[in-house]
Structure 1
Amino acid sequence: MESSSFKQSGFLRNHQGAVHVVRLSSSGKYCLSAGADKSVRLWNVEKQTLIKTYTGGHGYPIFDLDLSSSNSQFISVGEEKFAVVWDVQSGRIVRKLGGSSSGHTQRINAVCYAHFITEDSIVCTASYDRTVRCFDLRASNRSSDPIQVLDQAADSVTDVCCFQYEILTASVDGYLRLYDIRTGYILMDYLGPPVGKCCFSHDGNCILASCLDSCLRLIDKSNGDCLAQYKGHVNEEFALHCELTLDDAFVVCGSEDGSIYYWDLTDSVIVQSFYKAHKSTVSCVATHSNFLVSASHDSTIQLWTRNMKTS
């Protein structure tokens, strides 16, 4: 029988202050990170080296970022009311979205690319102002105005993600909201506690949500049923990124006590806990085929490699 466990295999150190987000490239060879020091950093994960630092786009902490499907651009958001689109290779700012009279009125908590029509054509931003705004990157006049505003939330929208023609949002008001762009339908699932982060399963059938009652919930997208709950970590204050592995077999999330937890999807059992892997809150995790990366408020990013064992 073959089993696996993760062991700490490296550090990425260069940020000053909390690291709020880390994202892996599609190949897993590179990652982007950002946080309180107002900069984005590009790393070679295999060599554990810093490649480039992106500065000048933000004057305040960065909360989230997302890579385009081609890995040629990324977009970052934070305390400001606008999103910044960057060219990965040159480090130049391509454009800024929002900031106009029709843009967000408060900080932006989350951002994602959507691929409804063509790749990387639409960007969605979620804000403390209770709205999600959608921007068209193909606009010929390079307008920074949104093409659509989703304003159903009663409190801060903490996360947004997309799958095919659907936009999923999480809010402090305790709701997950699923918008179908083709039909205009809105499905709402009330979870109770404030919802910090959310994501689709890779097959698109389920939704994973991290809530501020120290519980992750797996929701059936078709009917809103709660299929499983995952507990053991501490999550009462911050919106902690959660994720399913590429094969949708495991759930991973950080903890406010510095630990990382790894659950079996179907039976909710903790497969592995990285007890106090960091000295402070683990704000974000990202997984690939045989490793994961974790970002923390302790200013570090850690690399964890899967070791396969045969018994």
Structure 2
Amino acid sequence: MAPSETLPSQVERIIECKQGAVRAVRFNVDGQYCMSCGSDKSVKLWNPHRGALLHTYCGHGYEVLDAKGSCDNSLIGSCGLDKSVMMWNVSTGESLRRFRGHAARVNCVCFNEESTVILSGSVDGSVRIWDLRSRKYEPIQVLNEAKDAVMTVSVSSHEILTSSLDSYTRIYDLRNGKLTSNCIGDSVTCASFSGDGQCILTSTMGSALRLMDKETGEQLSQYTGHSSKDYKVESCFSDSDTHVMSGSEDGFVYCWDLVQGTLVNKLAHKGSRIVHSLSHHPSRPFLLTATLGQMWLWSSEKNEEDDT
């Protein structure tokens, strides 16, 4: 297997996060650090390669459901059941801003590529865009086309991608104001751009991943075998776009060849009931997964003795 196709295949470290149930795990922009979101209302910053806890951020009123780091690693944005979006100073732990306006829990957050705004998606069916450069606390834009809960939001260049339980993905082109909607056929719990921005990977409640052409909406491939019928289960691309991965309700992470659609590996989480969140390193074969109160770091055999 070529180095670019090396995949995470073995457990390098299991971290007991000690923050109740871990709702999401996320690598930061360069993959040196990561965040875990807990049912104990906290966000924790880690060096996962060494298993070191660097900081705990407390201020949410209820469970934290998602967190992302800014492009320069100076900020963390988080959201949760308290209907708010919070901004944190990474180094000091200070809470800088709290944005309110959603009518229900906030499922997801995402910075734009310059980290000048943060976007949030909610059960209220809206995506709200908050300006980080001004002192205003009202959103500068509200995208409310979804007819059900917005589950994920991501940004690639000039485009915003959302997934919703109303069975649609939506792409907003910020250059010309164009909206492209694509009906997937099942409630969409996760959607992400490929590294080259040409494809979209979707996860649904129908236990299927679909690879879609971004421009035409054509289905290019489908990946099955995992289980995602009752919970939001995330999916992602590998760092080189050669494979796609998904958590599962049966305690495994499934990995398929992107083009062939064939299952190439299953990563077992012993004693686990569901693997619901995962995050692939942006440039190397490392994978983070969340299950119960733990965060698992997976690496390839090539990285076994790599002192990161």
SS in 2 for 1:282: coil
Deviations 1:17-44 (A, max 9, x none): 2211111123322111112111111111
1:88 aligned to 90, 94, 107, which one? 90
Residues 281-296 of structure 1: pairs in structure 2 closer than 5 A: 281-288=274-281, 289-296=284-291
Partner of 1:114 in structure 2?
Answer: 112
Asked if residue 145 in structure 1 is aligned to residue 143 in structure 2, the reply is no
Partner of 1:261 in structure 2?
Answer: 254
Mapped contact 2:17–2:295 kept (Cα < 8 A): no
Q: Quick one: distance in 2 between partners of 1:26 and 1:112?
A: 12
Mapped contact 1:133–1:149 kept (Cα < 8 A): yes
Q: Quick one: distance in 1 between partners of 2:56 and 2:227?
A: 32
What are structure 2's unaligned runs of at least 5 residues? 304-308
Equivalent position amino acid for 1:275 in 2: A
Instruction: Count residues in correspondence.
Output: 298
Deviations 1:203-253 (A, max 9, x none): 000011110001011110010001111111110122222110121111111
Mapped contact 1:112–1:160 kept (Cα < 8 A): yes
What are structure 1's unaligned runs of at least 5 residues? none
Mapped contact 1:129–1:157 kept (Cα < 8 A): yes
Asked if residue 183 in structure 1 is aligned to residue 176 in structure 2, the reply is yes
2:36 aligned to 24, 33, 37, which one? 33
Mapped contact 2:19–2:42 kept (Cα < 8 A): no
Partner of 1:174 in structure 2?
Answer: 167
Q: Quick one: distance in 1 between partners of 2:267 and 2:48?
A: 20
2:215 aligned to 219, 222, 230, which one? 222
Asked if residue 303 in structure 1 is aligned to residue 305 in structure 2, the reply is no
TM-score by length of 2: 0.93
Q: Quick one: distance in 2 between partners of 1:19 and 1:191?
A: 28
Partner of 1:50 in structure 2?
Answer: 53
Q: Quick one: distance in 2 between partners of 1:59 and 1:65?
A: 15
Partner of 2:127 in structure 1?
Answer: 132
Mapped contact 1:260–1:277 kept (Cα < 8 A): no
Q: Quick one: distance in 1 between partners of 2:269 and 2:70?
A: 32
Mapped contact 1:19–1:283 kept (Cα < 8 A): no
Q: Quick one: distance in 2 between partners of 1:105 and 1:26?
A: 30
Rate the CA distance shift 1:294–1:278 in 2: closer, same or farther, 3 A: farther
Question: More displaced, 211-220 or 238-247?
Answer: 238-247
Mapped contact 2:28–2:68 kept (Cα < 8 A): no
Mapped contact 2:244–2:255 kept (Cα < 8 A): yes
Q: Quick one: distance in 1 between partners of 2:172 and 2:285?
A: 33
Mapped contact 2:68–2:78 kept (Cα < 8 A): yes
Equivalent position amino acid for 2:97 in 1: R
Q: Quick one: distance in 2 between partners of 1:14 and 1:155?
A: 32
SS in 2 for 1:263: strand
SS in 2 for 1:8: strand
Q: Quick one: distance in 2 between partners of 1:268 and 1:185?
A: 31
RMSD of aligned Cα (Å): 1.5
Q: Quick one: distance in 2 between partners of 1:204 and 1:181?
A: 15
Equivalent position amino acid for 1:150 in 2: L
Q: Quick one: distance in 2 between partners of 1:156 and 1:27?
A: 30
How big is the shift at 1:151?
0.8
Q: Quick one: distance in 1 between partners of 2:200 and 2:237?
A: 10
